[in-house]
Chains A and B, each alone.
Chain A
Amino acid sequence: MPKFIISYVKYVDYVSTKFGRLSMYLIFLMIGTLLLGAITRNILNFPLSWTVEMAQFTITAYYILGGPYSMQMDDHVRMDLIYGLYSDKTKARIDVFTNIFLLVYLIVLLIGAISSTQYAIEYGQRKFSQWNPSMIPIKIIMTFGIFLMILQTISTFFKDLAKSMGASIT
């Protein structure tokens, strides 16, 4: 494999891992916020209106930013009825092609994300609720996460390509 591809894979995997590891901790933020809401309402008799919405924002960041890392770790299920019968090399050959479908889906997602973020920024979009938070931060996070997912898919594509030729990039 050419050197620039190897360093691309290395760099993208590094960034995905960092963001994945970061979003791992968001589970505690979700638990904490929801618990805070339950405690203040029941024990202190002081209901907070924003806890569930905050948790909604958190879970969105959690799975979108965690997506590239989970793909790197190969956590996403496949239907391995036929696929499972092949050797690793053949699996990689098939993946080289089918990764393109994944890429198409992610690009359509990204186009939607960008135009939705532009809209939010242009009109200062807010969530219609008592707390009334701005939608801009979460949309930027989502757009970034999807973009990173695309970079990770390309990295995975290179890794599969190398594997299909009997080499490996690690």
Chain B
Amino acid sequence: MSYELIGMSMFGGMLLMMLTGQRIFAAIGFVSAIAALFLWGNGGVQMPFSAAFKLFNWYPLLTLPLFIYMGYILSESGIADDLYHMFHVWFGGLKGGLAIGTIALMIVISAMNGLSVAGMAIGATIALPEMLKRGYDKIMITGVVQAGSSLGILIPPSVVLVLYGMIARQPVGKLWLAGAIPGLMMAGLFIIYIAVRCKLQPDLAPALSEEERNLSLSAKLQVLKAGITPFLIFFFMTGLFIMGVTSLVESSAVGATAATIAAIAKRRLNRKVIEATMRKTLGISCMFMWIILAALSFGAVFDGIGAVKSIESLFITNWNLTPWEVLIMMQLSYLLMGTFLDDTAMLVIVAPLYVPLVKVLGFDPVWYGVLYTITCQIAYMTPPFGYNLFLMRAMAPKEISLMDIYRSIIPFVLIMTLALVLVMVFPQIALWLPEYVYSR
């Protein structure tokens, strides 16, 4: 059996195992364990467990449970409610204002957290019910929450870029800065889309009633206070890290502490909140870590059969593609796989195959990190297996069906693809900020 065939059947076996509905980590782990035993016999038996020490050495992953913890503290303790109220008051008068306000809310949440789960939870439980109550079109706003929350992994801090940084051996600070402008640009595109669409179809998003809008200026200024806490959290976490005061993992601990202190200051931290936060943090962290553990083992087997070399020779020697064609092929295959594969697993399995290729082709790995993250965002949202879709169904109000969720993402996926193309064609969108900061 040739190595290419082994690689293909491993991939196929994994997909098949996943289709049975067994836990994702079990599907990946089983295929990697069997392949290791088949290829190297007794020598392969160590492989799945060695992955645990590779994981151990990837210490930046410490940011993962800490960001999850922080996200839950922010959503469970009601800090996010005040924030939502702020945007509600300030944007409510516009056509589609609450939807635009929700995108703004998501930008702020993204700046405090490195995952999309936090924004999703906050959007689905706070913003969605409010908008539904006011007669907003459910399909549009479902898309707004999903697209908005996906900004969490592009706007710094970002766990996906941490993972990418480990795989590509690039400084996380540079990667985070590179994600900032593309993230804001994408948010801007979302807002333009919502504004234009609501202008054309005003019945999608009725403006707030007179009495809800008629607040005194002092009352309006009063609610702005809600913005102070997120700003402080952002400063202590990402600010201190970029300034070089705290290391990456320390900064996430600082962020988690800052969020906890904010919750205490608002007198919202009680036994119930702490219990729920700890329980969910453990659950989600275990889910991610076990998938990464299995995927690292899978990746090690792939490495052992020289999969990088065979993909490289397939693209460059056999198909005779130019570097740009290879790049586009990689993004396309990524999107395609993203619709079938679990995203975390895809990250750990596929990224190590592609990143060396990017370097061989002479592209900037920092820039590719941003492309890669945008592709991840799209993959998170595309059916049948989008992690966001799955979470959305669990968290959204009952009247939003799975079909609504599927339909809601279409315009936003198109916008995100546009953003991806823009960053591909104009690399400076991503690279200007890190070059500016690091050249000083």
Nearest-neighbour CB distance to chain B for A136, whole angstroms, equals 14
How many A-B pairs have beta carbons closer than 8 Å: the answer is 186
With an 8 Å Cβ cutoff, the count of chain B residues facing the other chain is 63
Given known A-B contacts A59-B62, A105-B48, A35 and B289 have beta carbons under 8 A apart: no
Contacts of A115 in B (CB 8 A): 45-46
**Contact status B287-A35, CB under 8 Å:** no
Given known A-B contacts A60-B52, A91-B21, A52 and B59 have beta carbons under 8 A apart: yes
Contacts of A20 in B (CB 8 A): 282
**Contact status A27-B59, CB under 8 Å:** no
**Contact status A105-B33, CB under 8 Å:** yes
Nearest-neighbour CB distance to chain A for B43, whole angstroms, equals 11
A122 within 8 A of B: no
Contacts of A83 in B (CB 8 A): 19-21
B380 within 8 A of A: no
Q: How far is the CA of A106 from the CA of B291 in the complex (A)?
A: 13
**Contact status A79-B21, CB under 8 Å:** yes
CB proximity to B under 8 Å, residues A106-137 = 106, 108-109, 111-113, 115-116
Q: How far is the CA of A79 from the CA of B23 in the complex (A)?
A: 7
**Contact status A112-B62, CB under 8 Å:** no
CB proximity to A under 8 Å, residues B259-277 = none
Nearest-neighbour CB distance to chain B for A62, whole angstroms, equals 7
Nearest-neighbour CB distance to chain A for B165, whole angstroms, equals 16
**Contact status A78-B52, CB under 8 Å:** no
**Contact status B385-A104, CB under 8 Å:** no
B296 within 8 A of A: no
Q: How far is the CA of A76 from the CA of B50 in the complex (A)?
A: 22
Mark contacts of B296-337 with chain A using CB atoms, 8 A cut-off: 1 yes-contact digit, 0 otherwise: 000000000000000000000000000000000000000000
Closest to A23 in B: B282
Mark contacts of B29-73 with chain A using CB atoms, 8 A cut-off: 1 yes-contact digit, 0 otherwise: 110111011000000011111101001110101100110010000
Q: How far is the CA of A94 from the CA of B411 in the complex (A)?
A: 37
**Contact status A101-B50, CB under 8 Å:** no
Q: How far is the CA of A75 from the CA of B291 in the complex (A)?
A: 12
**Contact status A112-B49, CB under 8 Å:** yes
Segment among A7-15, A64-72, A161-169 that sits at the interface with chain B: A64-72
**Contact status A35-B254, CB under 8 Å:** yes
Nearest-neighbour CB distance to chain B for A166, whole angstroms, equals 20
**Contact status B45-A77, CB under 8 Å:** no
**Contact status B26-A95, CB under 8 Å:** no
Q: How far is the CA of A149 from the CA of B250 in the complex (A)?
A: 31
Q: How far is the CA of A99 from the CA of B20 in the complex (A)?
A: 11
Nearest-neighbour CB distance to chain B for A155, whole angstroms, equals 15
**Contact status A31-B21, CB under 8 Å:** no
CB proximity to A under 8 Å, residues B373-423 = 384-385, 387, 390
Given known A-B contacts A27-B281, A62-B285, A83-B20, A35 and B65 have beta carbons under 8 A apart: no
Q: How far is the CA of A35 from the CA of B246 in the complex (A)?
A: 9
Q: What would be 25 A-B contacts, judged by CB atoms less than 8 Å apart?
A: A24-B282, A27-B65, A27-B278, A31-B253, A34-B253, A38-B247, A55-B59, A56-B57, A56-B62, A59-B65, A63-B286, A75-B286, A76-B287, A77-B390, A78-B18, A83-B21, A95-B22, A98-B26, A101-B26, A105-B33, A105-B294, A108-B45, A109-B48, A113-B52, A116-B50
Residues of A in contact with B (beta carbons under 8 Å apart): 20, 23-25, 27, 30-31, 34-35, 37-38, 42, 52, 55-56, 59-60, 62-64, 66-67, 69-71, 73, 75-84, 86, 91, 94-95, 97-99, 101-102, 104-106, 108-109, 111-113, 115-116, 142
Given contact pairs A62-B65, A105-B29, A111-B49, enumerate 16 new A-B contacts (beta carbons under 8 Å): A24-B281, A27-B282, A35-B254, A38-B246, A38-B250, A52-B62, A55-B62, A56-B62, A63-B285, A76-B24, A79-B18, A95-B21, A104-B34, A112-B48, A112-B50, A116-B49
